[in-house]
Amino acid sequence: MTLWVWDGTLQSQTMPGRKIPIVTGEIYHVVNRGIASQPTFTNGRDYQRMLMLLPYYRFASPPFKLSKFLTFPKSRQVEILQEMQENGQPLVDIIAYCLMPNHFHLVLKQISDESIAKFVSDVSNGYTRYFNTKYERKGPIFQGKFKAVRVEGEEQLLHLSRYVHLNPFSSYIVKAENELEDYPYSSFSEYVRETSGGFCQKQPVLSHFETPNAYRDFILDRADYQRELQDIKHLTLDDL
């Protein structure tokens, strides 16, 4: 049975209680959109800020306030993130992600009680402060509640990772399948390229494939089908 879990980002408000608790040790597909589906990422700098917040707030007690962290040179920031990776207490495992112009997808494993809620709240609030300062606006930019769907088994996790990684293609942001791994704002390239510096915990997915190329084939095999589903999505009531 699929569990639909609703939670809220703080946005300087009291967080409403969850109807169904997010269970520690389980994996969830977390989604949130801009208010009224308005753009939340408008250029490369916006995306890069979110990509910095995800690994930074993954840990319970970052060694510096974000404002202090941002004053360090890029090389020092990389060192700090590496130190946190080696010695920090994680709130969540980030298994996969995809940032889209007006929403984001995260595949997260909860490490301790309420840690997904804290992580998503910290990331959303940190990004909102950045966005409001940059664009001289006030108020929340994300919808008040994020949606979290529990992943029920390894097979569902594999199909979810494919759905998340195909989002730029099925939404026509990426025009061709062979360009998908060049999309810089998802974890797909981290999965299929032997590069350093990523922050995803890929083992739960990649352990089912002999090579990264085999995972690439798994993703691209259903690319056209997922795009077709996206084309008729407006005819359905499914609106993740």
| Residue 103 pLDDT exceeds 60 | yes
Give 114-146 pLDDT, tens digit per residue.
999 999 999 999 999 999 999 999 999 998 789
Nearest CA among 66, 62, 65 for reference residue 84: 62
197 lies in a domain?
yes
65 lies in a domain?
yes
**In whole angstroms, what is the distance from residue 161 CA to residue 203 CA?**
12
202 lies in a domain?
yes
Give me the mean pLDDT over the 159-177 stretch.
Answer: 92
How many domains does the chain fold into?
1
Say which CATH number the domain at 173 has: 3.30.70.1290
Sheet arrangement for strand 4-8 = 4-8, 145-150, 27-33, 103-110, 92-100
- Who wins on pLDDT, 223 or 150? 150
77 lies in a domain?
yes
What is the extent of the structural domain holding 222?
Answer: 4-233
Q: Name the pLDDT band for 226 (thresholds 50, 70, 90).
A: confident
Q: Name the pLDDT band for 236 (thresholds 50, 70, 90).
A: very low
Give me the mean pLDDT over the 146-152 stretch.
Answer: 93
Q: Name the pLDDT band for 196 (thresholds 50, 70, 90).
A: low
240 lies in a domain?
no
Nearest CA among 225, 95, 230 for reference residue 158: 95
180 lies in a domain?
yes
